[in-house]
Amino acid sequence: MNTPQHYDLLIHGGTVIDGTRAPRFAADVGIRDGRIAAIGDLRGHSATERIDASGRIVAPGFIDSHTHDDQAVLSQSDMRFKISQGVTTVIAGNCGISVAPLRPDTPLPMPLGLLVSATDPRFGTFADYLSALRQSPSSVNVAAMVGHSTLRAVTMKELDRAATPDEIAAMQELVEEAMQAGAIGLSTGTFYPPAVKASTEEIIAVGRPLAAHQGLYATHMRDEAAHVMESLEETFQIGREIGVAVVVSHHKVQNRANFGRSRETLPFIGEAMQHQRVALDCYPYAAGSTMIRTDRGMLDGRVRITFSTPHPECAGRDLDDIAAEWGVAKDEAARRLQPGGAIYFLMDENDVQRILAFDETMIGSDGIPTGESPHPRLWGTFPRVLGHYSRDIGLFSLETAVWKMTGLTARNYGLQGRSTLKVGHHADVVVFDAATIRDTATYETPIQAAAGIDAVIVNGAVTWRNGAHSGAHKGQVITRTPSAAKEAT
């Protein structure tokens, strides 16, 4: 036996799933100074604090590859809805919306209004945002992208048109500033009103500064329904022309007419992966959630209101019932409820399973941390994949499930030094019971911590233990280092 060592924290007796997709193995994990100091048989070693992980899985903390937690990490910094699921890192700034940069007088058109409220502090630069996060850390690590719709709101007077060359130049400067400050990339949401009129050429031009920093391009595509194949082609083209990796956000095929078309999209994505860097994520539910919309396609299925500014009493109710009560058509009821949020039952479960099971698909919640009736994905995504989809349905092994929320995600986003259990890595760790892990959040009762999570450790600090938050706020800002990125190319 090696010389006995002392650790800050010793997780003993557990079974390690290390996040690389390798088969599980029995080992103790020793943590010191926020890092993983040893993995192996650590009997006879001492520790300040111990966690008995007998009969439990010890895995890297999960990375939520798709979040809208930009504001929540400051204003709800305990991040209970994520830490309680085992999430230790969130990727913020998705779907074209980010909280920075914003001027004091920048309007907040939806869906930007989902993220930032009129009373939230404004950050004039991306650097200001990241430094605020460093000054008051949240309970999870954050890597953030800058949003194209935010940039449009900051630089353009009217959003219902293409950007002029001057406006594009102004947006490029803001992308460059964000990348220098430590943003990991740029996201777009051409599905949404503030960016619908942005052309492919505008996005390529605005995204040019990404290349020098090897930032990512992530997108909530223009169309995830009838024109999903054209949207994928546009996404690949943008990635090729800028010369960066692309992330197809929350991949789905929506509306009844398109059910089954993941049989077309997944081989097409797989083919593109042969020639360029492409990643995709997915949430484990057949319903989506976003701002209240009035377009036909979105209102075809069941719609449940999550919040409404003019009609707060309608939160948690079905749009059909509200429309019947008011004696108006569904789209008119939706118009009266704006601005607000809703859940849309628009997908086929078979597509959801096919996309989740696709080898390269990462797990991301797309949770929106607003209101009393959020989509249950906000609290349930990761346990739902581990419990329902991996254990109960057998969609993939537990090792694959963990990899889809750790190692794969870190590879795609270029996050170094965490996400797999390895000596020297930052100690982001989750201890859970593979037999009982389960999402408990439902559409009816969405604010519920998952079952089966014993402990969640962020940078060495026990942050969640036996259903309670410890008060630790040890999350770090994860940035890209331009010099390191340049060296790597």
Q: How far is the CB of 249 from Cu ion (least distance, A)?
A: 6
Provide the phi-psi class of 348: left if phi over 0, else alpha when psi is between -120 and 50, else beta: beta
Residue that is written with structure tokens 């890597």 in the block? 143
Q: What are the E-state strand segments in 407-482?
A: 429-432, 453-458, 461-465, 468-469
User: What is the Cα–Cα distance from 235 to 222, expressed in whole angstroms?
Assistant: 9
Q: Which DSSP helix (H) or strand (E) runs through 381?
A: helix 377-383
Q: How far is the CB of 372 from Cu ion (least distance, A)?
A: 20
Task: Give the range of 87-95, 130-138, 163-171, 198-206 binding Cu ion by CB under 5 A.
Answer: 87-95
Under the binding rule (CB under 5 A), the answer on residue 68 touching Zn ion is: no
The neighbour count for residue 193, using CB atoms within 10 Å, is: 15
Q: How far is the CB of 462 from Zn ion (least distance, A)?
A: 33
Under the binding rule (CB under 5 A), the answer on residue 95 touching Zn ion is: yes
Q: Which of residues 92-111 bind Cu ion (CB under 5 A)?
A: 94-95
Which C-beta is closer to Cu ion: that of 182 or that of 341? 341
Rg, C-alpha atoms of the chain: 22
Under the binding rule (CB under 5 A), the answer on residue 84 touching Cu ion is: no
Q: Which of residues 397-426 bind Zn ion (CB under 5 A)?
A: none
User: What is the Cα–Cα distance from 457 to 464, expressed in whole angstroms?
Assistant: 7
Under the binding rule (CB under 5 A), the answer on residue 287 touching Cu ion is: no
Under the binding rule (CB under 5 A), the answer on residue 72 touching Zn ion is: no
Side-chain-side CA neighbours of 291 within 13 Å: the count stands at 21
Q: For strand 246-248 and strand 15-16, is the pairing parallel, antiparallel, or unpaired? A: unpaired
Contact 306, 341 (CB under 8 A): yes
Which C-beta is closer to Cu ion: that of 65 or that of 406? 65
Task: Give the range of 88-96, 316-324, 331-339, 389-397 binding Zn ion by CB under 5 A.
Answer: 88-96
Task: Give the range of 119-127, 333-341, 366-374, 403-411 binding Cu ion by CB under 5 A.
Answer: 366-374
Q: Which of 45, 56, 82, 220 binds Zn ion (CB under 5 A)?
A: 220
Which partner in Cu ion, Zn ion, none is near 78 (CB below 5 to 8 A by kind)? none
User: What is the Cα–Cα distance from 265 to 349, expressed in whole angstroms?
Assistant: 16
Task: Give the range of 112-120, 134-142, 153-161, 214-222 binding Zn ion by CB under 5 A.
Answer: 214-222
DSSP helix/strand/coil, 445: coil
Task: Give the range of 12-20, 30-38, 95-103, 171-179 binding Zn ion by CB under 5 A.
Answer: 95-103
Q: How far is the CB of 142 from Zn ion (least distance, A)?
A: 18
Q: How far is the CB of 189 from Zn ion (least distance, A)?
A: 6
Q: Which of residues 211-250 bind Cu ion (CB under 5 A)?
A: none
Which C-beta is closer to Cu ion: that of 282 or that of 461? 282
Contact 103, 122 (CB under 8 A): yes
- The DSSP letter of residue 420 is S
Residue 210's closest CA among 232, 236, 243, 188? 243
User: What is the Cα–Cα distance from 376 to 365, expressed in whole angstroms?
Assistant: 9
Which partner in Zn ion, Cu ion, none is near 155 (CB below 5 to 8 A by kind)? none
Side-chain-side CA neighbours of 143 within 13 Å: the count stands at 25
Which partner in Zn ion, Cu ion, none is near 213 (CB below 5 to 8 A by kind)? none
Which partner in Cu ion, Zn ion, none is near 69 (CB below 5 to 8 A by kind)? none
* Total residues binding Zn ion (CB under 5 A): 2
CA dihedral over 278, 283, 289, 291, signed as positive or negative? negative
End-to-end CA distance of the chain: 43
Which C-beta is closer to Cu ion: that of 11 or that of 405? 405
Under the binding rule (CB under 5 A), the answer on residue 377 touching Zn ion is: no
Q: Site residues (CB under 5 A) for Cu ion?
A: 94-95, 366
Q: Site residues (CB under 5 A) for Zn ion?
A: 95, 220
